[in-house]
Amino acid sequence: MNPRNRSGGYVTARTGVASMQRRCTRWLWFAMLLLSALVVAPVHADDAVPDGECFERAAGYQGVNPQILRAIAWYESKGNPAAVHRNADGSIDVGQTQINSVHFGELRRYGVPPGALKDACVNIYVAAWMLKRKMVRYGNTWQAIGAYHSETPRYRDEYARNIHAVLVSWGLHE
């Protein structure tokens, strides 16, 4: 007996291959878009704070607010692209937006090795992509911003409050 797929039809070798091809195509598409965006918007990794162009381009590309990305970078590392933090659980956070090592496997599949996250622009583009994924799930909300850091409600809400506080300190939010 063949199992049913999500649409109620039977799964066959043909539908299984098609599904795998769609997933591979999506991964390849993301990797190409990320790499092409980086070629269009190069930034030198030795810049302490990348010029706003990377924030603007990454945010525009993903459809997220560039000020939120800037606030995340400021809160996480004061904009230091070389920042590395070792967490109590053994994971590490890399770059100015502190991308956690739990994401390294997925990023490698998209052609982004962990060392690339120390490049300011790569780090910003990855953060914009990760934030967009949370926005797709939670909408354009503080919950999505907090989920960038953690899905655990207590940590998520605390993080959202901290990002809000950065924006308030910059005069960008009430």
* Per-residue pLDDT tens digits for 56-112: 999 999 999 999 999 999 999 999 999 999 999 999 999 999 999 999 999 999 999
Q: Is residue 131 situated within a structural domain? A: yes
| Contact predicate 28/20, CB 8 Å | no
Q: Is residue 38 situated within a structural domain? A: no
pLDDT band at 173 (very low <50, low <70, confident <90, very high): confident
pLDDT at 52: 79
pLDDT at 106: 97
Report the interhelical angle of 13-40 vs 120-138 (nearest 10°). Answer: 130
pLDDT at 25: 52
pLDDT at 65: 97
Q: Is residue 8 situated within a structural domain? A: no
Q: Is residue 141 situated within a structural domain? A: yes
Q: Is the pLDDT of residue 132 over 50?
A: yes
The model's pTM is 0.72
For residue 26, give every residue at least 6 positions away whose Cβ sits within 8 Å of its Cβ, in sequence order, or none: none
Q: What are phi and psi for residue 116, nearest 5 degrees?
A: -65, -20
Q: Is the pLDDT of residue 7 over 70?
A: no
**What residues make up the domain containing 146?**
44-169
Span 9-54, pLDDT tens digits:
544 444 454 554 555 455 444 554 555 554 444 433 334 444 679 9
Q: Is residue 23 situated within a structural domain? A: no
Question: In this predicted model, which residue has the larger pLDDT, 118 or 49?
Answer: 118
57 SS3 class: helix
CATH code of the domain covering residue 129? 1.10.530.10
Structural domains counted in the chain? 1
Q: Is residue 111 situated within a structural domain? A: yes
Q: Is residue 21 situated within a structural domain? A: no
Q: Is residue 34 situated within a structural domain? A: no
Sheet holding 92-94, edge to edge: 84-86, 92-94, 99-100
Mean pLDDT, residues 131-159 taken together: 98
